Amino acid sequence: MNVSIQTLGCKVNFAEMAELGDRLAGIGFSVSDSADNPDICVINSCTVTAQADRKLRTMVHGLRRRHPQAHLILTGCHVDNPHPRVSAVPDADVAFPNARKSEIFDYVSANFAAGAAPGSTTFTRSRFFLKVQDGCNHRCTYCIVWRTRGTSRSGEEMDLIERARRAVSDGYGEIVLSGVDLGAFGRERGESLAPFLQRLLEAIAPARLRLSSINANDFTPELVELTGAPRFCRHLHIPLQSGSDRVLKRMGRLYRRRDYLGLVAALRRQSPEVAVTADVIVGFPGETDGDFADTENVAAEAALSGMHVFRYSPRAGTAAPRLGLPVDDPISKERSHRLQTQAEAQRRAYEARFIDRELEVIWDRRFPNRMRGLSDNYITVYAPVRGQTLGALATIRPMASCGDGLLGA
């Protein structure tokens, strides 16, 4: 029986579904991320923006229209959105809130017949995504996730390390840690992230370790020092959201422009060529031309090598709508376009520094005539097919730029 897993949103969602896919394959289901001919389709949703809500409804409606007999299981943050007009998706057969997401495996195994032989999965790909933390205790004024995910809680360290060890034994060359508020790992137990990362890094040798996203205010001196360690990927995703102190305060963020730039400088003292990427929101209520210029300037001064640019989207149940109306649509569109153009230019400039230099990549996708890999510093690299193994680490010397990365000979 074919199970299709469709994931929207963050790497936490992906990590959760990768684990589900492995478990279902282990009892005989054929699992993939393809939407071709599914008997069961699990959709892990996002509700961080109105666009994410629209994308989900379009996806579910399309799946129902193309596969009327398929059993559609909806889960994720959209289900937990407290606004009923948002969370209602009538095309789904059943919905599991985040707190009951782990029950999807039991639901599928109890209600559908698995194959007699071990199944298969093409969902997990080449890197192992390990969810170590869930929930958030912050109250950023634009964000609904603290409502949909609940309070911060961390996984048990020994269990997480053992799962990572098994993944390396299974052939994974990279472990990606994910969490809704990753920097809060262990905090409810009086522990902190850096010591756990040190122990994990030692346990997964020779694989490398990557962090998915961590807030600027969660970097301790110990964590900054650790980013220069061997096998710690030279890439950090540190949400910026705005370069204006006034806007950051209105957003409820716990750092300011000076903090962010100081952190980036400290990270580059440890690892001079580390790639720093960020999320940025434009059009937040009250954002002026000067505030937006501050964001452009911080992105340039921090030499961000990538930006996920979002236009502000009001969320029912958050505080931001009480701060005033969003920036007019044409202005926020123009700011988004400007920042995306800047992001593209900065990405290309960063990548150009690594032409004709050795990069360690992990092969993550096979095309008919070429392989795609991801470098430790988050550069997409392509090379001709020469018997490479998906999930394996390799050293390559890219020789030219291409559309979305670098091209190896």
> How is residue 387 written in tokens?
């018997």
Measured in whole angstroms, the distance separating CA 333 from the mean position of its chain's CA atoms is 24
Per-residue model confidence (pLDDT) at position 80: 87
Per-residue model confidence (pLDDT) at position 91: 85
Q: Which among 96, 130, 95 is positioned nearest to 11, based on CA atoms?
A: 130
> How is residue 247 written in tokens?
């806007």
Per-residue model confidence (pLDDT) at position 409: 80
Per-residue model confidence (pLDDT) at position 83: 77
Per-residue model confidence (pLDDT) at position 69: 93
The residue type at 151: T
For the beta sheet containing 235-237, the strands, ordered from the edge strand earlier in sequence to the opposite edge, are: 235-237, 275-282, 306-311
With tokens 């110990």, the residue in question is: 222
Pairing of strands 370-375, 380-384: antiparallel
Contact of 239 with 208, CB cutoff 8 Å: no
120: β partners: 30
Crossing angle of helices 257-270 and 289-301, in 10° steps, is 10
131: β partners: 178
Question: Which pLDDT tens digits describe the chain residue by residue (409 residues)?
Answer: 899 999 998 889 888 998 898 889 888 998 988 878 899 999 999 988 888 888 999 999 999 999 999 999 999 999 988 876 666 788 899 999 998 999 999 999 999 988 756 666 666 568 999 999 999 999 999 999 988 999 999 999 999 999 999 999 988 999 999 999 999 999 999 999 999 999 999 999 999 999 999 999 999 999 999 999 999 999 999 999 999 999 999 999 999 999 999 999 999 999 999 999 999 999 999 999 999 999 999 999 999 999 999 999 898 889 999 999 999 999 999 999 999 999 999 999 999 999 999 999 999 988 988 999 999 999 999 999 998 988 899 999 999 999 899 999 8
Residues in the chain: 409
* CA dihedral over 233, 239, 244, 248, signed as positive or negative: negative
Q: Domain 128-352, what architecture? A: Alpha-Beta Horseshoe (3.80)
Q: CA-CA distance, 213 to 10, in Å (whole number)?
A: 10
CATH number (3.40.50.12160, 1.10.3720.10, 3.30.420.40, 2.30.40.10) of 2-121 reads 3.40.50.12160
Per-residue model confidence (pLDDT) at position 120: 62
Per-residue model confidence (pLDDT) at position 125: 64
